[in-house]
Each structure stands twice: as structure tokens, then as C-alpha cells.
């Protein structure tokens, strides 16, 4: 007997065997029970999630002589001869995408069905139709004969014209949950006499990324093996690593055990583990750990921002795997950053942000002129380090001078908006994600960074970041980044001054202080700054 691949053999021919799309199946069955059939359906979603199978079962059910609870009976003449039924017309738009195929449909559509109640047109990958084919289809969808039902399936709904979408009842198929894939493949293995470990099934579910068809194809490739299919076999055949390996890897980072970490990376390298799969798994595990920190409120060696940084760096590294660099070296470098570092940040309580700035600044007397004079003096000074420090002091002073709580709230919302912006350059994004705005005035913002390394790096990029904020928010903020320690100091000073009713005087920041003086521009000219 000819071997039939598993996904064909186990293609569902009733609603009960379509898994992971419960809501859609329930809605479709109800429409059959209530005899409420639309003329056009759109099934969208990732590949292998059951769109075509559902379309076929639905086509069978709406024509069935005695549907049982919305499902095809499987016994009537129509159900039994479903596969040969000329009234079920399937078109794969990926290969037949022209206007001629659609014309043929239109010409025959008026002829009443030979057997059942409905003629059902299943158009797979409908987004592949040409524009003229879409136009022809649209004419039919506008005035379909009573006996015609269209089921359009697509993995790429954004490429389906809105004019078509608006005429369809739409169902979005979801990726199938790993647990559901495990359950289904386990049953199939039992039926087929395939011996397989549960852990191996779980790995297959992971690799299939929510597509049952892919899961069964992977199982097919393994099923030639007559012995027990183990997790090891799956890993070696598909060049993957288990979740336990990844848990170990992150544990080594948590425990500051650099040798074990490097050994494990070496092991991945020797097994030639697929880097993309590896990154995906680390990101999965890291994001679960980060969430656990929030939920359990426990302080771990790695903070949420560490995990955030790890995840962003890993995703960023995927862009580099085509460069002729050993991807495992990149992984090593990303992870090494978290070892022996005094700057590993802790989960930081948000109370820093809760400073009450003076509501009525005029109530407070002006701070001694002397201090202000020094700042002014320094603002004009040259000499790289002094100038940088001067600018930092000037901006802290100016932000405190006009700080108010409502500005802070506003600024926080603005930063959320900025962080969500899709055009945000990677470097700026990681800086902002690692920073919290802690004081705000109409023109100035002070950021505190979670990681001490971020502050100097960010201050080298002030102009670039300001320009970006300007583009997104249309606001000309002068900003400055402080380490946690520096911020604590400035905050204490500020509170002390408030208590003593010493006010901060706003000092106009001269553009030339930043732009024109040679030494200063050395610090702020981005083209000269190498970010490591």
C-alpha cells in the first residue's frame, strides 16, 4: 500500500477533528443550525491552522441532508460522495490567479447545483489573485445567486482588497496552542503505533509554531524510526535545543556562573544548533522570567531591565546572523555582559518619580546668587569634561526650576508614545527603555537610567535623542540622563532646597554652549562617537 503522509491521512473530515479553533467552529455550526448561511466567508490566519479543512467540512455540512447539531452526518448520499461532488469547486489562487479562472467560475455560477443545496467555491490563498481577477470576483460577490457560497482563505489578509473584505464574514484562525498540538499528535502516534516520548512531542509542537500541518510533517520525518522517538533524536534531527537547556543557560547567568554558561554555548555550537531557534527560545524563557519578577515581586540578580536588554540584544543579533560572523560569538558577547558586573540593576521602586515639585514657584525666594553665578560661569567654560558636567548641572538646574508634577505625568505618557514608535532607532529605543523620566518641566526632562552604563552613553547621544523626540512629540525638550546614584544625590539636594525655600533660577541655555564651541561639539558630535 502506498504510504500516505500523516497530514493527508489525518486531514479532518468533520468539525470534531479540527482542533484549536473552537470559537470559529462553534459559530459556523450555529449558523448551520439556524440556517443562517452567508454568501461569502473569509478565513484568514497562519498556515496549517485548519482554514482549508474547515472550509471543506463547512461545505459538506451546509449541503448535508441531515446535519447533526451543525455537523455533517457522514451517512447521507451527499456526505458519502463529497469528494467527487462537482458542486464543491476548489481553486488555488497561488497557481490559478488570473481573470480567466474567475471568469469561468462566474459563467458557471448561475447553473444550479446538481446534488446539494449550495455550490461552494473555496478559493485558497485568495490574496494571490491578480487585480483584474479581484475585480471580476467582486462583481460576483456583489450579487451572488442564492445557491452560491464563497469561502476565501488567505495567510495574508492585508493583501486582500478592502472591497472584497467588506463583503465577507471574516474568521481569523489562530496559531494552535502547543498543548493542543501535543494532544492531537499523541493520539495520532498511538493510532499509528509510533513510539514517542512526551518531551519529543512537546518539542515538535514548539517547532511547528502553531501549525498542525507542520507538526504532522515533522512527525512524518521522524516516524521512519522504528525505535522510541526521544527528545534527543528530535533535537539532533532538527538542530534544536530543549527548553531545559535554555533554562540552564539563564540559570547560569542568574548565578553568575560564567564557565558553565560558556560550556553550554560551546555545546550548542558543537551540535550546530539553529541560531534562530535558539534565540527564539531564550527570548521565550527570558520573557517568562521577567514577568515572574513582577508577579512574585522578588529581587533577582537580573532585573526586568536586564531581561529587556537581553531580549532586545538577542532580537537585534538576528539581523547579524547573515554577516560572516560566528553567531555563537555574538550570543557569548550578549550574555557575558551580565557577568561580574557591578552594574546589574535591581528592580527599582517607582517612588523616585513621586517628588512633589513646588506648586507655586513664586512663593519661594531665589537661591543665593552665588550658586547661580557659578553655574552661569561654568556654562560658558570650555574643556571637555568640565563642559559636560556643566551642561549636566545646567540642565538639572533648569528642569528643577520649572518642574511640576503634571509635567512629569505628561512626559511619562509622551515617553510611552515614543517607545511605541515603530521608527525609533534601536540604540535610542534601548536607551529609553532603560530610562525613566523622573523630573519634567515644559522645556527640560531628567532621565534616570537603570543601568549605570546607559547614562554616559545616552548623554553622548543627547542631540540625536532630542531630535527624535522633536520629530515624534513636536517638542523641543532639553534632556539629560543621570545614573541612579547621581539622581539620588540630586533629588536629596532638591528636596533640601525645597525645604529651605531656596528656588532654582532658570538659566537660558545658549545654543552656542552646545553647538559652536569647539570642545563642546567634540562631545556632542555623534559622527565622532563610537557606540560599543
Q: Given the rule CB under 5 A, which residues bind Zn ion? A: 64, 72-73, 76, 79
- Report the Cα 37 to chain-centroid distance in Å: 36
Closest CA to 359 of 398, 400, 399, 404: 404
- Give dist(CA 113, CA 88) in Å, integer: 9
- Written as nine digits, the cell of 127 is 490574496
Tell me, letter by letter, the H, E, C secondary structure of 148-208.
Answer: EEEEEEECCHHHCCHHHHCCCEEEECCCCCHHHHHHHHHHHHHHHCCCECHHHHHHHHHHC
Residue 16 or 525 with smaller CB distance to Zn ion: 16
Residue 66 or 95 with smaller CB distance to Zn ion: 66
Residue 149 or 212 with smaller CB distance to Zn ion: 149
* Least CB distance to Zn ion at residue 61 (A): 8
* Least CB distance to Zn ion at residue 59 (A): 12
Residue 16 or 263 with smaller CB distance to Zn ion: 16
Residue 55 or 79 with smaller CB distance to Zn ion: 79
DSSP 352: G
* Least CB distance to Zn ion at residue 80 (A): 8
Q: Is 356 exposed, middle or buried (0-12, 13-18, 19+ CB in 10 A)?
A: exposed
* Least CB distance to Zn ion at residue 121 (A): 20
231, 197 Cβ separation under 8 angstroms: yes
* Least CB distance to Zn ion at residue 75 (A): 6
Residue 32 or 344 with smaller CB distance to Zn ion: 32
Strands 365-366 and 444-449: unpaired
* Least CB distance to Zn ion at residue 27 (A): 20
453, 343 Cβ separation under 8 angstroms: yes
Residue 46 or 113 with smaller CB distance to Zn ion: 113
171, 22 Cβ separation under 8 angstroms: no
Q: Is 249 exposed, middle or buried (0-12, 13-18, 19+ CB in 10 A)?
A: buried
- Give dist(CA 181, CA 167) in Å, integer: 33
* Least CB distance to Zn ion at residue 122 (A): 18
Amino acid at each position: 500500500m502506498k504510504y500516505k503522509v500523516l497530514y493527508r491521512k489525518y486531514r479532518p473530515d468533520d468539525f470534531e477533528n479540527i482542533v484549536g479553533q473552537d470559537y470559529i467552529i462553534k459559530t459556523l455550526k450555529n449558523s448551520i443550525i439556524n440556517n443562517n448561511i452567508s454568501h461569502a466567508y473569509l478565513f484568514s490566519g497562519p498556515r496549517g491552522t485548519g482554514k482549508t479543512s474547515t472550509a471543506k467540512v463547512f461545505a459538506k455540512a451546509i449541503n448535508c441532508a441531515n446535519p447533526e447539531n451543525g455537523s455533517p452526518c457522514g451517512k447521507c448520499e451527499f456526505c458519502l460522495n463529497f469528494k467527487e461532488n462537482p458542486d464543491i469547486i476548489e481553486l488555488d489562487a497561488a497557481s490559478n490567479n488570473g481573470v480567466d479562472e474567475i471568469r469561468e467560475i462566474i459563467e458557471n455560477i448561475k447553473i444550479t447545483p446538481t446534488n446539494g443545496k449550495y455550490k461552494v467555491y473555496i478559493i485558497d490563498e485568495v490574496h494571490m489573485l491578480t487585480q483584474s481577477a479581484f475585480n471580476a470576483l467582486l462583481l460576483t460577490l456583489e450579487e451572488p445567486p442564492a445557491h452560491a457560497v464563497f469561502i476565501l482563505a488567505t495567510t495574508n489578509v492585508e493583501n486582500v482588497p478592502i472591497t472584497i473584505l467588506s463583503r465577507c464574514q471574516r474568521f481569523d484562525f489562530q496559531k494552535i496552542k502547543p498543548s493542543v498540538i501535543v494532544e492531537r499528535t499523541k493520539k495520532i502516534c498511538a493510532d499509528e503505533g509510533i513510539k514517542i516520548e512526551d518531551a519529543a512531542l512537546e518539542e515538535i509542537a514548539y517547532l511547528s509554531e502553531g501549525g498542525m500541518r507542520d507538526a504532522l510533517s515533522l512527525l512524518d520525518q521522524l516516524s521512519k524510526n522504528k525505535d522510541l522517538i526521544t527528545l534527543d533524536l528530535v533535537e539532533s534531527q532538527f538542530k534544536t535545543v530543549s527548553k531545559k537547556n535554555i533554562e540552564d543557560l539563564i540559570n547560569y547567568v542568574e548565578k553568575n556562573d560564567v564557565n558553565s554558561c560558556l560550556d553550554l554555548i560551546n555545546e550548542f555550537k558543537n551540535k550546530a544548533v539553529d541560531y534562530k531557534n535558539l534565540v527564539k527560545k531564550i527570548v521565550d524563557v527570558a520573557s517568562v522570567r521577567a514577568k515572574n519578577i513582577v508577579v512574585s515581586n522578588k529581587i533577582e540578580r537580573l532585573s526586568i531591565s536586564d531581561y529587556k536588554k537581553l531580549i532586545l540584544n538577542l532580537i537585534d543579533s538576528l539581523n547579524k546572523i547573515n554577516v560572516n560572523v560566528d553567531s555563537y560569538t555574538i550570543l557569548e558577547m550578549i550574555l557575558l555582559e551580565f557577568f561580574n558586573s557591578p552594574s546589574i540593576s535591581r528592580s527599582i521602586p517607582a517612588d523616585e518619580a513621586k517628588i512633589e515639585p513646588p506648586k507655586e514657584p513664586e512663593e519661594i525666594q531665589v537661591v543665593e546668587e552665588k550658586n547661580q553665578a557659578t553655574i552661569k560661569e561654568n556654562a560658558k567654560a570650555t574643556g571637555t569634561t568640565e563642559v559636560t558636567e556643566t551642561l549636566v548641572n545646567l540642565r538639572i538646574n533648569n528642569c528643577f526650576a520649572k518642574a511640576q508634577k503634571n509635567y512629569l505625568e505628561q512626559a511619562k505618557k509622551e515617553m510611552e508614545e515614543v517607545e511605541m514608535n515603530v521608527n525609533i532607532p534601536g540604540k535610542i529605543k534601548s536607551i529609553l527603555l532603560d530610562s525613566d523620566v523622573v523630573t519634567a518641566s515644559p522645556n527640560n526632562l531628567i532621565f534616570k537610567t537603570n543601568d549605570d552604563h546607559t547614562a554616559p552613553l545616552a548623554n553622548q547621544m543627547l542631540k540625536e535623542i532630542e531630535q527624535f523626540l522633536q520629530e515624534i512629540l513636536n517638542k523641543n525638550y532639553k534632556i539629560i540622563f543621570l545614573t541612579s546614584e547621581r539622581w539620588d544625590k540630586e533629588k536629596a539636594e532638591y528636596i533640601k532646597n525645597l525645604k529651605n525655600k531656596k528656588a532654582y533660577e532658570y538659566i537660558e541655555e545658549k545654543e552656542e554652549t552646545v553647538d559652536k564651541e569647539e570642545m563642546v561639539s567634540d562631545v556632542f558630535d555623534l559622527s565622532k562617537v563610537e557606540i560599543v
